Amino acid sequence: MPALTSFRSLIDSLERSGTLRSISRPVDPRHELIAVMRAVQKAGNEPLLFTAVAGSPSPVATNILGRREVLALALGLEPQTLLPSLLALGLAQLDPMIVSDAPVHEVVQTSGFDVARDIPQVVHSERDAGAYISAGICIARHPTTGIVNASWNRIQLAGGDHTRVRMMPPQHLGQYQRVAEESGEPMPVAVVIGAPPALMLSAASKIPIEADEYRTAGGWQREPLRLVRAKTVPLDVPADAEFVIEGHVLPHVREAEGPFGEFTDGYVEVGPNHVLKVSAITRRRDAIYHVILAGGSEDTVLLGVPLMVDVWKKVAPLADIRDIGFPGHIFGCVISLAKTDDLQPKAVLEAALAAHLWMKLVVVVDADVDPHDPQDVLWAIHTRHRPDTGIVRIENAAGFPRADVRAVHRGKIGLDATAPLAMKETFRRRRFLGIETISPEDYFDPV
Ligand SMILES: Cc1cc2nc3c(=O)[nH]c(=O)nc-3n(C[C@H](O)[C@H](O)[C@H](O)COP(=O)(O)O)c2cc1C
């Protein structure tokens, strides 16, 4: 299966398959749009396209990668084997190609623009400091090595050409900025909205700082990334993107930015963050704006999949691993395996907890439990876990390191929720014949 190499081809594909839900009822970009999306994420979790966003020059797409299967489709990979396939791709590199036909340059504004008018003013959470770009990928070149980095960064839309962006080490963009600032130089940045899916994933992944993310995204989509020279900054940008916002991060300038609702459902409070002065807004004539809610399904898929590839790498040599899910949040995971030895679950738990700093709660289940279904996982804990012997506890291990909450992310816990091999028959799950073909709607009396 070939990968879909642009955001637009992904939207078109979801539309053709009837997966994309279109919403033409007018919505307010301040809170209402996100409230509708959040309600959808809690129900059917469909990808959404809002076509009548008040005051917005563009339709707004959101929850596009809210399902793992859509990410797999976008990358041309099978959903059931997404993690081992990504592990096999590793850091595959493919040089990008520079093209002259660039939909993202159909409309070019290098003056007279206003980020508070020309960009949809989406406000996400109750206490947010106004409208933010929440699905912008910052492209920058390392000031000395020239290596291209791509990372997701929230951007506060102040007005005119003025935006604020948080870019802190250890994030690579923050490291780039520090080098630029030491020589007193503004750092050119291009913010890509509606990016090729492989670039969306690489921007959410911890790619080694020595690896060029355009080449990595090309490797992952098994086709060179189509790039075009930016209009006002010395960078190349994805030619098929929906929007590109070009500008410079000012050296030695910080402004109060925040609060902004973040992925643990709290807020990152006001902090002194960088100023990005915009020099151009370029876009497709019919550009679709992309919005991602921190901590929502799409954010969780983008951050969780690369994390679980790291976990897969560590646990795959230890047992017959069937799948890894991350229901709830990404500070843990559920690993399903077909065990051949009762010692395997504990070895897998220890390896998974050590695979990433953020891993705090790992559950191992048998292959007949769906690791993506929290109810099924809780069922396995209730019916198969032995609290007196089935817990791996690591005291004092550091976890998610953000300063305001790190005190609670100390220690790690693993639960073996697999049935003992000797009792396999006792624990065999009963089946309900015919259930696969039954739809309750066909049985209800009409209301
Ligand atoms: C939708 C989305 C938004 C994100 N926003 C931020 C952000 O505002 N600041 C930040 O430091 N990391 C943010 N991240 C996480 C980074 O993109 C992620 O840590 C990435 O790996 C950093 O890349 P690096 O390898 O260049 O350091 C976000 C991730 C996603 C998926």
Residue 24 burial (CB count, 10 A)? 10
pLDDT above 90 for 440: yes
Pocket probe mutation, ligand 1, options 37, 64, 152, max atoms within 8 Å of Cβ: 152
**Alpha-carbon distance 254 to 349, whole Å?**
43
Task: Compute the distance between CA of residue 246 and CA of residue 280 in angstroms, rounded to an integer.
Answer: 5
Alpha-carbon torsion, ordered 435, 441, 443, 445, to 10 deg: 160
- What's residue 447's pLDDT? 87
Query: H helices of 210-296, where?
Result: 213-221
Chain region(s) in the chain for CATH 2.30.110.10? 7-291
Listed residue (64, 187, 189, 192) closest to 136, CA to CA:
192
Atom of ligand 1 nearest to the CA of 306: 21
pLDDT tier at 294, thresholds 50, 70, 90? very high
**Residue 61 scores a pLDDT above 90:** yes
CATH of 317-423, one of 3.40.1670.10, 3.30.1360.200, 3.40.50.300, 3.40.50.720: 3.40.1670.10
Could you tell me what percent of the chain has a pLDDT over 90?
98
The pLDDT value recorded for residue 280 is 98
**CB of 149 closer than 6 A to ligand 1?**
yes
CB within 8 Å of 397: residues ≥ 6 apart: 353, 410, 411, 412
What is the location of CATH 3.40.1670.10 in the chain?
A: 317-423
* Angle between helix 7-16 and helix 68-75 axes, rounded to 10 deg: 120
Q: Whose CA is nearest to atom 27 of ligand 1?
A: 171
For the Cβ of 207 lying below 6 angstroms from any atom of ligand 1, the answer is yes
Q: Which residues contact 46 (CB under 8 A, 6 or more apart)?
A: 19, 20, 21, 40, 63, 66
The Å distance, Cα 202 to ligand 1 centre, comes to 10
Question: What distance in angstroms lies between residue 176's CA and the mean position of ligand 1's atoms?
Answer: 14
Choose the residue to mutate in 151, 201, 291 for probing ligand 1, maximizing ligand atoms within 8 Å of C-beta: 151
- Cβ neighbours of 84 (radius 10 Å): 17
Q: Are 199 and 213 in contact (CB under 8 A)?
A: yes
Choose the residue to mutate in 62, 148, 153, 202 for probing ligand 1, maximizing ligand atoms within 8 Å of C-beta.
Answer: 153
H/E run at residue 355 = helix 344-355
Statement: residue 143 has pLDDT above 90: yes
Residue 94 Cβ inside 6 Å of ligand 1? The answer reads no
Q: What confidence tier does 243 reach under pLDDT thresholds 50, 70, 90?
A: very high
Helix, strand or coil, per DSSP, at residue 372: coil
Torsions phi, psi for 42 (to 5 deg): -80, -15
The tens digit of pLDDT for each residue in 297-319 reads 999 999 999 999 999 999 999 99
Spacing, Cα 83 to ligand 1 middle (Å): 20
Chain centre to alpha carbon of residue 91:
18
Q: pLDDT band at residue 57, thresholds of 50, 70 and 90?
A: confident
- Nearest ligand 1 atom to the CA of 165 is 8
pLDDT tens sequence across 198-221: 999 999 999 999 999 999 999 999
The protein residue with its alpha carbon nearest to ligand 1, atom 5, reads 153
Given ligand 1 and candidates 137, 171, 210, which is best to mutate, with the most ligand atoms within 8 Å of its CB? Answer: 171
User: Ligand 1 center to residue 137 CA distance, Å?
Assistant: 9
What are 67-116's pLDDT values in tens digits?
999 999 999 999 999 999 999 999 999 999 999 999 999 999 999 999 99
pLDDT at 127 over 90: yes
Q: Which two tokens stand for residue 3?
A: 């990968």
Q: What is the share, in percent, of the chain residues with pLDDT greater than 70?
A: 100
Q: Compute the distance between CA of residue 206 and CA of residue 172 in angstroms, rounded to an integer.
A: 9
Predicted pLDDT of residue 168: 82
Query: Measured from the CA of 260, which atom of ligand 1 is nearest?
Result: 8
Residue-wise pLDDT for 391-414, tens only, equals: 999 999 999 999 889 999 999 999
Average confidence score pLDDT of the chain: 97
Amino acid letter at 312? W
173 lines ligand 1 (CB under 6 A): yes
CB-ligand 1 contact for 105 (6 Å cutoff):
no
**Residue 324 pLDDT greater than 90, yes or no:** yes
Please tell me the predicted confidence (pLDDT) of residue 370. Answer: 98
Q: Does ligand 1 lie within 6 Å of residue 299's CB atom?
A: yes
| 136 Cα: distance to centroid of ligand 1 (angstroms) | 10
Task: For residue 379, name the pLDDT band (cuts at 50, 70, 90).
Answer: very high
Distance between CA atoms of residues 265 and 267, nearest Å: 7
The residue with tokens 């994420």 is: 41
Tokens in use for 285?
């004539």
How many helices (H) and strands (E) would you count in the chain?
A: 10, 23
Q: Give the helix/strand (H/E) hosting 198.
A: helix 197-204
- Report how far residue 143's alpha carbon sits from residue 137's, in angstroms, rounded to the nearest whole number: 18
313, 281 Cβ separation under 8 angstroms: no
Tokens at 227, concatenated = 């790039």
pLDDT at 18: 97
Of ligand 1's atoms, which has the minimum distance to the CA of residue 303? 31
Does the pLDDT at position 431 exceed 90? yes
| CA of residue 199 to ligand 1 center, whole Å | 13
Expressed in angstroms and rounded, the spacing between residue 193 Cα and the centre of ligand 1 is 14
* Cα of 151 from ligand 1 centre, angstroms: 5
CA distance 424 to 269: 51
Q: Give the tokens for residue 203.
A: 């921007």
Ligand 1 center–CA 24 separation, angstroms: 31
Q: Which CATH superfamily is domain 7-291 in?
A: Electron Transport, Fmn-binding Protein; Chain A (2.30.110.10)
From the CA of 168, give the closest atom in ligand 1: 11
CA of 426 to the centre of ligand 1 (A): 46
Counting atoms of ligand 1 from 1, which one is nearest the CA of 206? 25
| pLDDT for 170 beyond 90 | no
Q: Which atom of ligand 1 is closest in space to residue 175's alpha carbon?
A: 27
